[in-house]
Structure 1
Amino acid sequence: MRSFTTHLPGDTRALYLSRVWTRRIVTVLCWQGNVLAAVEAVARLVDNGVRHGVPSSVPSSEGQLTLSIATDETGSLVIDVADLNPAFPDFDAAVRGERGRGLWQVASLGAKVTRFLPHEGRGETVRAVLAPGPVDV
């Protein structure tokens, strides 16, 4: 499994930076899937992280997200966005679109969306896995 990680500011600059970084990394990984869907999935996850994952009690200089992208043994693209807030009430409802639209949009791009808490440290990670496949032109 090849993976790459970057740290993003916990504000709206993260959206632009994540899109540019993701395009480059997906190309480096030679991922055989829909690159536009991958970039959009990352943008939605990062947007959710900026909106809900950086508590207001965290100084802006310390508020950041961690974005990791990897390919697994099946060729799937594994996208992880880690933030500083371990709480995510009604995660499953959010994925179904019953609570907000961001995670539902990621799922509608064909991603399997899950979340987990880190073994060490604080916060949570939301993961989206996109399968490789032909891209509609």
Structure 2
Amino acid sequence: MIPNPLLDRMEVIALAGYITDEKMHIARDYLEKTTREACGIKSEQVEVTDAALLALIENYCREAGVRNLQKQIEKIYRKIALQLVRQGVTNEQSLKVSLQQGAKQLREKSTEEPTQIADDGPGGKKLVRTQRACV
């Protein structure tokens, strides 16, 4: 909606990346399905809600691309597959596990309080760095 004479004087910079809606469609239509099949989980065994994917995208995968989103979905599905194996679910049986439960387990694994590391800085000053440890 910029007038053409003004647009001619401007330099247009194109930024590559996906918006949240595009990431939702990519995650729903491609990433989630391929990861589920790779883990050997049937679609009846897992319930993926839009709210769970949106929370994953907005809280854990804020970069422009979808590579980190794919890694997070794979991590959640590995945890779901492990949970199904530990509960002794076979291919004939079905157990509903939601993606939201898997994301909740990821949050619980990270420590609530950051660890502090003290270093001697230049001139003998104490420098304190904080790190959040994740399992």
- Structure number with the higher strand fraction is 1
After TM superposition, the score normalised by the length of structure 2 is 0.35
Looking at CA atoms only, which structure, 1 or 2, has the larger radius of gyration? 2
The structure, 1 or 2, with the larger RCO (C-alpha pairs under 8 Å, 6+ apart) is: 1
- What is the TM-score of this pair, normalised by structure 1? 0.35
More helix, by proportion = 2
